[in-house]
Chains A and B, each alone.
Chain A
Amino acid sequence: MSVSVQKADFDVGAEIAALSAGDDGAGAVASFVGLVRGAGIDAMTLEHYQGMTEKSLAEIVAEACHRWNLRRVRVIHRVGRLLPGERIVFVGVSSSHRRDAFAACEFVMDYLKTRAPFWKKEEGAAGAKWVDARESDDAAASRWEPGGG
């Protein structure tokens, strides 16, 4: 149940291996990597609200652990300036069975997208522009609410 907000890149293979290392009850590890897409942008800068970011990520992970039968959860989110193709975010979940791992991993991403205080600014040919929040992200998150989806 570990959360990191950092400038540095991370080692996806090592993070995934750590989710089941020494735990022979872990039969399933689901993970997600989000990357900077290059569509018309030269770079992206991620701003965050230090303190609240870590707190909100920890709350999202705790909620996932409450909803599903999980063994370990790892969230890493980068901040600062990133180039197209660079990794932004990692979410990894281990569990006994795959259903819990898949559901929790997608849940953490959906909640992170709508509840964790990060903001993206894109640099392109036309200058720099803050990314608008997407309604589809709200819809994705609301699937997990009672009566949602």
Chain B
Amino acid sequence: MINKRAASVAAAVADIHDGATVMIGGFGEAGSPIELIHALIDHGARNLTVVSNNTGSGRVGLAALIANGQVAKMICSYPRSTNSMVFPELYRKGCIQLELVPQGTLAERIRAGGAGIPAFFTATSVGTVLAKGKELRSFSDRDYVMEYGLRADFALVKAEKADRHGNLVYNKTARNFGPIMCMAARTAIVQAKEFVEVAGIDPENVVTPGIFVSRVVVVAQPAQESQLVKEGRCYP
């Protein structure tokens, strides 16, 4: 019988190896899988390449993972925000690499990686420094740059509900990168607020079909990043 439920966040992230590429869901704090990230800090895998839209805030969640020296490279669109000081500091010191990708290109590259598309063309970034060194090509008299599909060894994703097959639904704008990161990762690890019976999600309303999910762990009351930051919390 298929049962993708993992016993704990620690068990769920136990096989993330040094040097792995890890996609981490979330747009700001919405959809950020804080408990899985903290488990990854406890676990200690290093030299990671992390794909995530932002770089976290305060000293919890993604920012704490970076502060702990586990991330060698960030692939993201917006590594700067209120309360974000960990990444800027390490970046200025030259201690962490950055591949800056426009947000839509980042999303499309992840979706392409999950869909078996090695490369595609987009008008985004044409004529800007972010197109430097990239292949340019004209279709119907407009210029486009070629971008590559992006895959990962692991994805850490936050969902609202999950069943034992790994079918997922999300909450509002916390959906953001979750569905496409589950597609693009060889092993997608999901923290869900609620674990439901297989009949508990209407097949018409499934957002991520279970085929894209390897493990589900229940975190019934996930912390909110902004709340932790407000309280001045640090992890670990």
Answer whether A and B are interacting partners: no
Interface residues of B (CB under 8 A from A): none
